[in-house]
A and B are shown apart, each in its own frame.
Chain A
Amino acid sequence: MSEIELRNVTKRFGGTTAVSNASFTIDDGEFFILVGPSGCGKSTLLNMIVGLEEVSEGEIRVDGRRVNDLDPKDRNMAMVFQSYAIYPHMSVRENIAFPLKLAKLSREEVDRRVGKAAEILELEEYLDRKPRALSGGQRQRVAMGRAIVREPKAFLLDEPLSNLDAKLRVQMRTEIARLQNRLGTTTIYVTHDQTEAMTLGDRIAVLRKGEVLQIGTPRELYEQPHNLFVAGFIGSPAMNFVPARWSGGQLELPFGALEMPTDSANAVQAMEHPLIAGFRPEHLQAIDAQAHTGLHLEARAEVVEWLGADLFVYFDIKLEGFETLTLPEDLEIQTGHASRHTLVARLGPGPAVKEGDTLRLGLEPRDVQVFDAGTGNKITLSTGDE
C-alpha cells in the first residue's frame, strides 16, 4: 500500500510525445482510473509507473521515494495485462506461485499464500490445470491471483476486462471492485471504457493525446467537465452538443434562445467566440406547455429505445442559420450531417412514446454548459457556477 506521485512525467518515443507533463498523486488505497481513447498515452503512463518504460522527463515517487531508475522487479508492483499474460507452460498453481518463487519464499509460505489467493478468487479446483484448459474469465482470475499473492504496493491493471464478453465483463468488474475494497491496495486501472471508469474509480484521470485533461471523482467529471472532450467522453449516451452563439445577452441555440445568468465580464468576452452548448440527455424533460420557465422545443421521436428503467428518445433538429458542428473525432459522437442534427433525451419510463410521436421537451438554463468551439474549454458563466 502506497502513495504514488507523478511529477511532470513526460514520455517521448523518437519525435512523438506519448505523455506530456503528467502530474498527479494517487493516494494510498485509492482506486484510480486512467481513461481515454486509444493512443492517449494511458498504457504508456502505466508502463512507466511499473517500470517497463523509461521516463523521459519528470519523476515518479512511491511513498516519497524516487523510483525512476528502479528495475520493475524491485518496485513490488503487480500488473494485470490486457492479454492476461499468464504463462502457458505452467499450471495455475505455478503461475500464481511464480512471483513468490522469484522472491525465494519458503515452500510453506508459498503454499499458504497461493491457497489464500485461490480461495479469494475461487480457483481452488483449477490449481493443477494448465491455462489452456481454462475459460477466459478463469484466465483473468489467474492473472489477478498472480497479482494479489505478492501483497504488492500497488495493482496496475491494463484494460483487464476488454477480452471478456459483455456479461462476464460486468461480473468481473464487480469482483474487481470488491477485491480492491477488501484488500485496500492502491490500484491504478487503465481503460478506454467510460462505464468501467465511472463505476470503479474513486477518482478518474481523463487523458487525451498524452495530456491529462481533468482529474476528479466520477461525479465531478460528469457534472462539471472542464472541457468539451471530457463532457463528451464521460456519460452514456453522450452529452448532446449543439452549435450556439451569444447575442443580445442571450444564448441562441438552433431551437431557441436561453437567458443565461452571467455576471462575469470575462465570460461575456469569451462568449464572443463561436460556441458549443452541451446538455445531458436527462436534462431534456417532457413538460406541459405552460408550467415551464426554460426553453421549449417540439421534437418528433425518430428512434425510441425502451430499456425498462430508461427511455431514450432520439430526434432531429434543424440547424437553420448555424454552422454544422465539428466535434473532436476521437470522441466518436455521431451527430448526423448537413442540416440534420440528432439529439437524445432520457425520459422516465412512464409515458409510452412511439416512434413518430411529437413531444414537448424543456431545457433549464442551469443545465446547459457552454464551451468555446475553438479551444473546447468550458466557459464559466458566473462565479457561482462551480
Chain B
Amino acid sequence: MTGRPGNGTMERLFWGVGSALVVIYALIPVAWIVSLSLKRSGDLGDNRFFPQNVTLEHYQVVFSDPQFSAALWNSVGIAGISTLAAVLAGMFAAYAIVRLEFSGRRLILAAALCVAMFPPVSIVGPLFDMWRILGLYDTWAGLILPYMTFTLPLAVWTLSAFFRDIPWDLDKAARVDGATPFKAFVYVIAPLAAPGVFTAAILVFIFTWNDFLFAISLTSTNNARTVPAAIAFFTGGSRFEQPTSSIAAASVVVTVPIIIVVLIFQRRIVAGLTSGAVKG
C-alpha cells in the first residue's frame, strides 16, 4: 500500500485499525471457546470472559474418552486420505484441462463448478440409503468418497489457475532435453506447481476436517465417526454436568491440527512462490 506522501500516516492508521477490527471480530469466538475450556465446571455461568481459576480437567476428560481418540484418528485419516486423493486427481484433471486440446474442456470446468454449488444436504438422504445397501455406511470410504466429490472441483479450479501460469516452454524444453511427458511433469511442472498444490491441499483439508453434515449422517460408531460428529455425542464429566466445557476443550483440540497444517503449508506456499518467481 503506497499512498501519496501526505497520506502515509493516515493510510497506515486506516489499514492498521481495519485489520485489527477484522482479526478481533474473527478471533473473539475462538478466545471464548478457549476460555470456556479452561474454566471449572462450576464457573461456567459466571458471566466473565476470562476464567477466574484455570483448570485443565476438561482436557483430561476429553483425552480419557476413548470415543474422542477414535474420532481424532478417524478425522486425521479421512481428511488426510481425502486431501491426498482429491489433490492428486485434481492435479491430473487440471493439467489435462490446461494443457490438452479436447472438446468439452470448458464444459468440464463448468460442470465441476456446478458440483461445488450443489447443496450437500440434498444428497445426504439418498447417500445414506445407498451406503447402507453398498456396505459403505459407517466406513472411512463412505466419507472419503463424498468428500472427494465435493472438494475435487475446488482442487481442479485452484490447480488449473496455477498450471495456467507455468510457462509451457519449460515443458517443451524438458521434452527436448530428453524427458518423457511423465518425467517432464514430475521433474519440471510439478515442482513449479507446488504452491498451487499446497493451496489446494489446505482448502480441501479444511473442508473435510470441518465437515459435520456427512460425518453425522453417514456414521454411527467409532469406526468412522470424525471429531465434529463425535463432539455432538459428548457427555459431561459426570451425569450431573452439562458437557459445555468438554465440548469447548475438544473444539480447541481439533482446531490445533488445522492451525499447524495451515502454518506448515503456508511456509511452503511462500517458499514455492519465490522460487518460481523467474521469468520462464
Q: Chain A interface (Cβ within 8 Å of chain B)?
A: 50-52, 71-73, 76-79, 81-89, 98-99, 102-103, 130-132, 146, 150
User: Is there a chain A Cβ closer than 8 Å to B172's Cβ?
Assistant: yes
Which residues of B (194-237) have their CB < 8 Å from a CB of A? none
A84 to B276 CA separation, bound complex (whole angstroms): 15
Q: Which residue of A lies closest to B190 (CB)?
A: A89
Partner of A73, one of B175, B192, B277: B175
- Check A88–B276 contact: CB distance below 8 A: yes
Give the number of residue pairs across the A-B interface with Cβ within 8 Å.
75
User: Is there a chain A Cβ closer than 8 Å to B46's Cβ?
Assistant: no
Q: Chain B interface (Cβ within 8 Å of chain A)?
A: 167, 169-170, 172-180, 183, 187-188, 191-192, 275-280
- Chain B residues with Cβ below 8 Å from A52 are 172, 175-176
Given contacts A85-B167, A87-B188, A102 and B176 within 8 Å (CB-CB) = no
Q: Which residue of B lies closest to A77 (CB)?
A: B176
Q: How far is the CB of A19 from chain B (nearest CB, A)?
A: 18
Interface centre among B176, B191, B192, B277 (most CB of A within 10 A): B176
Partner of A102, one of B169, B170, B183, B276: B183
Given contacts A52-B175, A72-B176, A78-B176, A132 and B188 within 8 Å (CB-CB) = no
Partner of B179, one of A76, A77, A102: A102
Q: How far is the CB of B185 from chain A (nearest CB, A)?
A: 13
In the assembled complex, 13 residue pairs joining A and B whose CB atoms fall closer than 8 Å, in A order, are A71-B175, A73-B177, A76-B178, A83-B280, A87-B188, A88-B275, A88-B276, A88-B277, A88-B280, A102-B178, A132-B277, A146-B173, A150-B177
A146 to B174 CA separation, bound complex (whole angstroms): 11
A2 to B175 CA separation, bound complex (whole angstroms): 20
Given contacts A81-B172, A81-B173, A85-B172, A103 and B178 within 8 Å (CB-CB) = yes
What are the nearest 5 A-B pairs in CB distance?
Answer: A88-B278, A85-B173, A85-B169, A99-B177, A102-B178
A86 to B280 CA separation, bound complex (whole angstroms): 7
- Chain A residues with Cβ below 8 Å from B170 are 85, 87
- Chain B residues with Cβ below 8 Å from A78 are 176-177
Partner of A84, one of B183, B275, B280: B280
- Chain A residues with Cβ below 8 Å from B173 are 79, 81, 85-87, 146
A73 to B278 CA separation, bound complex (whole angstroms): 25
Known A88-B192, A88-B280, A103-B178; further 20 A-B contacts with Cβ < 8 A: A52-B175, A52-B176, A71-B175, A73-B177, A73-B180, A79-B172, A81-B172, A81-B173, A83-B280, A84-B280, A85-B173, A88-B276, A98-B187, A99-B178, A102-B177, A130-B278, A132-B275, A132-B278, A150-B177, A150-B178
Q: Which residue of B lies closest to A73 (CB)?
A: B178
A280 to B276 CA separation, bound complex (whole angstroms): 49
Given contacts A88-B278, A88-B280, A130-B275, A83 and B176 within 8 Å (CB-CB) = no
- Chain B residues with Cβ below 8 Å from A132 are 275, 277-278
- Chain B residues with Cβ below 8 Å from A76 are 178
- Chain B residues with Cβ below 8 Å from A98 are 174, 177, 187
- Chain A residues with Cβ below 8 Å from B191 are 89
- Chain B residues with Cβ below 8 Å from A88 are 192, 275-278, 280
- Check A50–B176 contact: CB distance below 8 A: yes
- Check A131–B180 contact: CB distance below 8 A: no
Q: How far is the CB of B177 from chain A (nearest CB, A)?
A: 4
Interface centre among A51, A99, A130 (most CB of B within 10 A): A99
- Check A73–B179 contact: CB distance below 8 A: yes
- Chain B residues with Cβ below 8 Å from A102 are 177-179, 183
A51 to B173 CA separation, bound complex (whole angstroms): 11
Given contacts A130-B275, A131-B278, A132-B277, A89 and B175 within 8 Å (CB-CB) = no
- Check B278–A79 contact: CB distance below 8 A: no
A329 to B167 CA separation, bound complex (whole angstroms): 32
Q: Which residue of B lies closest to A78 (CB)?
A: B176
Q: How far is the CB of B148 from chain A (nearest CB, A)?
A: 29
Q: Which residue of B lies closest to A80 (CB)?
A: B173
A232 to B166 CA separation, bound complex (whole angstroms): 39
A98 to B173 CA separation, bound complex (whole angstroms): 10
Partner of B167, one of A83, A99, A103: A83
Given contacts A81-B172, A83-B169, A89 and B178 within 8 Å (CB-CB) = no
A58 to B176 CA separation, bound complex (whole angstroms): 22
- Check A83–B178 contact: CB distance below 8 A: no
- Chain B residues with Cβ below 8 Å from A82 are 169
- Chain B residues with Cβ below 8 Å from A146 are 173, 177
Q: How far is the CB of B213 from chain A (nearest CB, A)?
A: 40
Q: How far is the CB of B174 from chain A (nearest CB, A)?
A: 8
Q: Which residue of A lies closest to B191 (CB)?
A: A89
Partner of A83, one of B175, B183, B279: B279
Interface centre among B173, B275, B276 (most CB of A within 10 A): B173
Q: How far is the CB of A280 from chain B (nearest CB, A)?
A: 38
Q: How far is the CB of A38 from chain B (nearest CB, A)?
A: 17
Q: How far is the CB of A12 from chain B (nearest CB, A)?
A: 14
- Chain A residues with Cβ below 8 Å from B275 are 88-89, 130, 132
Q: How far is the CB of A53 from chain B (nearest CB, A)?
A: 10
Q: Which residue of B lies closest to A149 (CB)?
A: B177
A146 to B278 CA separation, bound complex (whole angstroms): 17
